[in-house]
Structure 1
Amino acid sequence: MVLNMKKIFIYFLPVILFSALVCQVQAQNGLLRYAQQKAAESNYYEAATGYAKAYNKKATYKAAKGAAEGFTYLRDYQQSHNWWKKVVDFSDASNEDWLSYIAAANQAGERDAVFAALDSLNGKGSSAIQNLNLDSLKHWYGTKANAGVIGVDGVNTSSADFGFTKDSKGNIYFSSDRGGKSDRNKKGIRIVKSYKYYNKESDWTGRDFLGIYRMDDSGEIEPLTIPVPNVFHATDPFALQESPVIFYTVTRDIRESGSYEVNSEVYFSRMDEEGQMIDFNGLSINAPLEYGISNPFVDEKNKRLYFSSDMDGGLGGFDLYYMQYNDDFEFQAPVNLGNKINTSGHESAPYIKGGKLYFASDGHLGLGGLDLFETNISGNGFSGLKNLGVPYNSPQDDFGFFITSDNKTILSSNRPESKGWDDIFEVETLYKDFQALILGCNGEQLTGTFEVNLMEGADRSIVDVKQDGKGKLQASIAPEEDLELVIKKEGYFTIHDKELSTKGLKDASLEKTYQMVRIPYNTTAYVDLVFYNLDDSSIREDAEASLDKVAELLKSYSFLNIAVRSHTDSRASDAYNEALSERRADAVRDYLGKYGIARSRIEAEWFGEKEPANDCGDGVPCPENKHQVNRRTELLLLAFPEEGKAYNLPPEMADLDLCDISNVQLPVELPTIYFGFDKATLDGEDMMALERVALLLREMLQRRLEIKGHTDNRGSDAYNQKLSEKRALVVKKYLEDKGIASDRMVYEFFGKEKPVNDCGDKPCTPSMHQLNRRTELSLPKLNKNWSKKEE
């Protein structure tokens, strides 16, 4: 359904407004006759007051309607609403009276009364009412506006203040009726067409005359002296940027005998260095006794003067026109902007910026009174007419659109927030635009749907978030508020941002980019080995330190579980060995249980002799140290072990790049392998130590190993170089035999160049020489040890 608001605000009011005031009313009451006389003289304040007094003497339909129409013309919206409410209580009230009441209620901000009144009219016979819908009005009122208005500092008073323009020096010009002797309690109206005057002390508005004021960059305000003779009103200033010229509207005292109706004219003047007008020129089309011209705007780039006029040949009321001019300000014939802009109502206050024409109108679909509109300029035509909506528009009059050089939007309005009759407002962004981009580890935008929860303010109210399916999120968020954002996607870590805020945010938008990381399910974060005595499942003393550390990690981090894999050597039967390996797994579980680790977090497996660490299988003769290597339990700490679970990113890992999976893994102390004098062979303890290294490299495929061989200082440099290489290679060969790829290991050898103990200048003990005969193992350092507690 389409709302024809002209039916409410334009068509019916002009048709019915003052119908009772201009017809032959046979009123016997003196107050009614007085009010009728003042209405005929267009002295609307006295007319409205007179009808109100007459109603107070005797409550009649005519008196109530006269007062309602008078206050409507005076644009005293609250009084207008109160009196129209009285009118519709009479049985004489027509459907047109009800529409006038609805219009007044809307302009007074009584929205509930508007909708209630319309509901009560359903089914009545008037074609106007049958065709009336409020879909558009409800849409405007129901839409969350992304801005509000605040009064411009230092300008507004209890008087009428409106219009806004700046010259090239930064001076602000506006119109005001401040500073006079008139009764400020009397409501006036902004003059848009005909005026009738009696004297300067009491013109028909009950207010002082309008003048043009200038405010400099220090905030000082002074009135401009208008050089045009016999001026009552001067208003609508527009200052040019490329020339020291100002255009403006005046109404002059040119009354003739028997005629009091004088219309507005447009003049322009040059300005001197002190900012004073030094001459004046009127437009050649000025005809104040025939029609009005007002609201000049100059498009300097295209040399066009735009204005509003009710001259003959228009579409009705005031239309918008332009005239081309040359460098000497000689103007061509006026051109009407046409029916895409102009209506049977009033169009005024033209303004052009960024390829768009802005103007005020009460003839297009609107919220009531004058509304602000924009349209695209296409050559000499226009396209895409749009009502600017709330908060640019209100049920009252909204006009005087202007955009400053620093992109502040200014408008004038007599909405309830005004200090006086009209105020100058700045449009302030109320809601910020929040935009978030969700990227994967490779920088690609993540597609699909996210579960998004954006909470705003102390009450954690939920904000609606739009998604485009391509990793972009958008929402409107309130200014000066803290927010909290949670983003979830199956198989990814949850994003939880508690630091979002618009407090102190000057920009119109808050933009964020988030990286969403796949959860590395069942990633090995830490490994160790414990060994057993022959035919025994009890925990040895040398295994306790390893199990204590594993227990502490499990207690500290809930996202870790442990896989326990137990083995035996090949001696005894398969069945016996399987049972023995099960007992060894149980012994580990029991040991961890003493620390309070739940059995549900321990995945125990036992393999008997099926997976030996070496080739000491059934019937293969092996030394005891090789059998010892097979009697073992592998301890694997697994991060994020529950496949499909939606894990939050652990706070310990908040600063890590988890796209590099090695950052999920904990640092491990690698052993140093020590050798006998002039030896490059491994003993049983060396093998057990290297089994831990082999397990780590098998489970953590991203890791690389550095191997560095050394000798003591005895022997020649050349001999020790070769010996240190053998010591590095024997370690590398052992790990290769365990399935570790050669290209994952880098070895170096230094001979006696880098001793632990310098035995050159002083004698060393055998144990000091022993520390020099070594092969060192190391892994590239991790970005951060996430398990290390902050001091």
Structure 2
Amino acid sequence: MRFKLIIVLLVFVPLMVSAQDKKSKADNLYYSYQYQQAITEYRSEMEKYPLTNHQLLNLADSYFNIGSFDNASELYLEVNKNDTIMSVNRFNKMLQSISKNSERDRIKTFLRSKADMLSPELLENAEFNYSLLEIPKESDNSVIENVAINSPQGDFSPAFYKNGLLFSSSRIQKSKKVYEPSGESYLDIYFGKLNANNELTDVEVFDKIPATKFHKSTPFYSDKLSTFFYILSNTEDDELRYDENGKNALAIGTLTDTGRFRFILKDLSTSFYYPYFDDRSERLYFAANFDDSYGGTDLYYVYTNNGQIMSAPINLGPRINSPGNEIAPFVFEGSLYFSSDVFYGLGGMDVYKSSIIGNDSYTIPVNLGEGINSISDDFGFIIKQNENKSFSGYFSSNRKGGKGGDDLYRFTLKNLPGLKTFSLGGKVVDLKKKNGVSGAQVRLLNDKGELLKEVSSVATGDFRIEIPWQKQVTIQALKDGYSIFSTSYSEEDMEEIQTISYTLGLARFEDFVLESEDKTILKLDKFYFDKGKAILNAQVEAELNKVVDAVSRFPQLRLKIETYTDSRGSDSYNKKLSQDRSNVIKDYLLKNGLSSNNIVEAIGYGEEMIKNNCTNGAYCLDFLHKQNERTLFVVVD
């Protein structure tokens, strides 16, 4: 049953019909989750009068929920074309429906046509994951098996606890009422012990958490706080509580090992799902559908102090949250694992992995691929490392071959799941002014010099770029009027630099040149050869290295080397001396990175262009003669 854990099992909204919004028989069936009957009735009503766009969307949802994706996509596209009432969550369903019909190219075309209306994070996430799904999967020796203790009902939301596993289930109990929308029991929390063969046995209702006639589900145990986090129905005097619209929502409660219970997130109009407490950061993650949601349910966190909430809920942002539903957060070794039904996945809910950078930045969520994920719903992923350095864990799925609606699955992996990526974030800055450079192109190239990806820095100069892992990358930054930044890194260095804020320094071309003698020349300190010699000394080499640096930053730079002497000595001697000096300068530059394309000419002019009155036969002090002895690097292009 589609999204049973979110829509059908976890929230009960009594059917409400107001005088202002009278519903038809088909509407009543739809809002009672009787989708097949609703389809039949909507089709019957269509023969008598046109359906409203709201009703067409209800009909589309009904087709979507029973798996008739071709009919669903047709209706979603019709409403999307003629009206603007479609929510972002239904927009996601529309794209999911198209994707289910194996029309991925059609989705890509549609996304390009709507690029100005969609978030750049969503477009980048989609492009990245579509490219990953096209890469053939290598064998990882993974083992995925259905857990023996699954029931004919729904079993999901596994959580590690001491020597076993906590999970949620809708198994029939005498002490539990039947939840009418599902026909199964209200959810409860169960515990199974792990035996010597690592198999779950002795499954029973977990009695350390107080019983309730209504929902009690999705547990998580914090070793640091010795506290259980779980969701439960809002009740009063052992009866359901409703808001002014007749909605009963789910709250998050905690129970310490000493038996102290308290609500920590509770709102009669908002449901909270899947609490996860990160012992390291003391953040409490959860899923909810607030007004700032990017789609359906989004992932949030709150800061805590010893489990006491210290902040308002913080949305994880558009890199994680999408027009779809995001649920079941779990943090392991610096990565956030969660499930999403965003349109670019393999099926309904898929498990994704995103590295956490700093406090509030996340890399592109990577689909864990076939195996963990399937064409069905896969969610509630948890993982740990074993003594032999392998990894194991559990997740839930309603894939074919299971025993119930949702089943628990166990997996073992040799390596961490998900494609390894290289993610780099930082800032492009002006080396002189130290401010950010907007609109700079930041590129990543592979070891063959082939372009892998390119992004532009934003107004503040900030950028983030991410690619599948490489053995070597070259990082470049460039912008018209600025120098080029280019540096290569090996795998070891790549590991290090992606953990820091990386700065790419660019220099303006105008900071490297000046106007002199009616020419544009490179800005250098004055340097001199030893008297009567054409041999490079330390002072000359230091300035020539500045020329090498300038050309490395501006590879297209084309220069003319002009060397001059003073008037002392014969004209022919000075001509030859200056030419020899131009030649040794050219040779040095060619040996240190410049190409023949960078040096147009190297000419010695001797004493042809004296700058003052110190011509042949004139008496001048030495410093006046020195004014005429010079080397210019003239910018030709």
Specify the TM-score bucket, using the shorter chain as the normaliser.
0.3 to 0.5
Between structure 1 and structure 2, the one with the greater Rg is 1
Give the structure-1-normalised TM-score. 0.40
Between structures 1 and 2, the one with greater strand share = 2
Q: TM-score, normalised by structure 2?
A: 0.48
